[in-house]
Structures are given as C-alpha cells and as structure tokens.
Chain A
Amino acid sequence: DAKTTQPNSMESNEEEPVHLPCNHSTISGTDYIHWYRQLPSQGPEYVIHGLTSNVNNRMASLAIAEDRKSSTLILHRATLRDAAVYYCILRDSGAGSYQLTFGKGTKLSVIP
C-alpha cells in the first residue's frame, strides 16, 4: 500500500470543527482512502472511506483533492469523545490485497 503523511498531533477546542490533513502523493488509481480512529485503550474504529468524490456519513466528512494526492477528514463539531489517534490509510482495492497499513497517525486532543 502507498504511504501517507499526517501531522503527529493536533488540538481542537470542544464544539469547533476539526480538519485533519493527510498527504498521499503516490496514490494509485485503485487505492481507496480510509480513515480509522483509535480511542485510548480500544481497538481501531472505521470512520469513513472514499475513492474520488467527497463523502459524508454520521461520523465525519472526507474531502478529497481533485488530484487525489491529499485528503482531509472533517469532524464538524469536536467532542471530548473524539480525542483519539486518527489514521489515514490507502487501501489497494485490487485482488490479493488484504492488509491495512497503519502509520503513526495524528493524535487529536480536544480541549474542553
């Protein structure tokens, strides 16, 4: 899977929007962009994924650059429960690819 680059940490005030960036300049045409998060002492949790178009779900929005070399996870109103490590992962949709390659992610702190 292609590599992603994320900031090590970010801070946000509670109830404000948060934009978590991810660079993936070597993305291939068959790579999905996945975001997972890991709350303290828990397993990773799927957040959202996309291929080319922006995506929304009940947890977050995913904005994908037109050239697909970067993306941004948007939490519309951060809560204390959103404090977690957020992982941006490229997943090859081709046959024979099963692994999610986790980097170090971005540690999001939410300030009350």
Chain B
Amino acid sequence: NAGVTQTPKFRVLKTGQSMTLLCAQDMNHEYMYWYRQDPGMGLRLIHYSVGEGTTAKGEVPDGYNVSRLKKQNFLLGLESAAPSQTSVYFCASSYSNRVNIQYFGAGTRLSVL
C-alpha cells in the first residue's frame, strides 16, 4: 500500500505561472484535504472534499482551486502563482467517520519567485 502519494515533490515557479499538484490515495477514503504549512507554523486547511465530485473551502482558499473527478485523486491548482504561495503543501485523506483519522502525504515544496 502506497497510502497517500503527492506529485511533484519539489517545484519552483515564477510569479504568474500556473501549476497543478496531484494527490492520490489507495485506501478508498471518502474525504480528502489540502493543507499548507509555512515555516514555524502548523498546517492550515486550503480546500477539502467529502466525496467524488464535491469540494469545499477551508481556512485559506484564496488563490487556489481544486477538483475531485475520481475518488482516489484530489488536485490542487494555482492559476497565477504568487510569492505568498511559497509553502509546503500536504495532502491528506480519511474515512468518513466521527473519529476522522487523517493520513498525510510526504508533501510538495513549492517556491514562487
């Protein structure tokens, strides 16, 4: 079992460029999440999905879009990257139960110059 896999692991963008981060999970989880983590900070939720074809905004959604066309994949898009989006991005997934234990990927380090 791979668990939660994120691609790419590293990326450098110029301001205004676009990119898509891919998250794939093989645990048949209903819920999926995208977080960002800035230096010395905890994780903050960007967007989440409670099932295929559904998405919702989290705490810091501005500048990002997401799609969940397949249950196992959750894509995070940056349409026009800004230096403020330099961060480490983590994807997570969980079962749809009350306890909601989340399983995280290894992260994508993104630098926007």
* A and B: bona fide binding partners: yes
Determine if A43 and B90 form an interchain contact, defined as CB atoms under 8 angstroms apart. Answer: yes
Determine if A49 and B99 form an interchain contact, defined as CB atoms under 8 angstroms apart. Answer: yes
Determine if B48 and A49 form an interchain contact, defined as CB atoms under 8 angstroms apart. Answer: no
Chain A contact residues, majority secondary structure: loop
User: For the side of the interface on A, what is the size category?
Assistant: 20 to 34
Partner of A103, one of B42, B90, B99, B100: B42
Determine if B41 and A104 form an interchain contact, defined as CB atoms under 8 angstroms apart. Answer: yes
Does B13 interact with chain A (Cβ within 8 Å)? no
Closest partner residue, chain A, to B90 (CB atom): A43
How many residues of chain B are within 8 Å of chain A by beta carbon? 26
Task: Specify which chain B residues have a CB less than 8 angstroms from the CB of A102 in the assembled complex.
Answer: 35, 42-44
Determine if A43 and B104 form an interchain contact, defined as CB atoms under 8 angstroms apart. Answer: yes
Q: Nearest Cβ distance between residue B95 and chain A, in whole angstroms?
A: 12
Partner of A45, one of B50, B58, B104, B107: B104
Does B62 interact with chain A (Cβ within 8 Å)? no
A43-B106, A99-B59 are known contacts. Are A87 and B100 too (CB-CB below 8 A)? no
Q: Nearest Cβ distance between residue A84 and chain B, in whole angstroms?
A: 13
Complex CA distance for A42 and B3, rounded to whole angstroms: 14
Q: Nearest Cβ distance between residue B97 and chain A, in whole angstroms?
A: 9
Task: Specify which chain B residues have a CB less than 8 angstroms from the CB of A104 in the assembled complex.
Answer: 40-42
Does B31 interact with chain A (Cβ within 8 Å)? yes
Does A93 interact with chain B (Cβ within 8 Å)? yes
21 contacts between A and B (CB under 8 A): A42-B106, A42-B107, A43-B92, A43-B105, A44-B90, A45-B104, A46-B102, A46-B103, A87-B42, A93-B100, A97-B100, A98-B33, A99-B48, A100-B43, A100-B45, A101-B42, A102-B35, A102-B42, A102-B44, A103-B42, A104-B41
B residues lining the A interface (CB < 8 Å): 4, 31, 33, 35, 40-45, 48, 50, 58-59, 90, 92, 98-107
A residues lining the B interface (CB < 8 Å): 32, 34, 41-46, 49, 87, 91, 93, 97-105
- The 10 tightest CB contacts between A and B, nearest first, are A102-B42, A43-B104, A93-B98, A102-B43, A99-B45, A44-B104, A43-B90, A46-B101, A103-B42, A43-B107
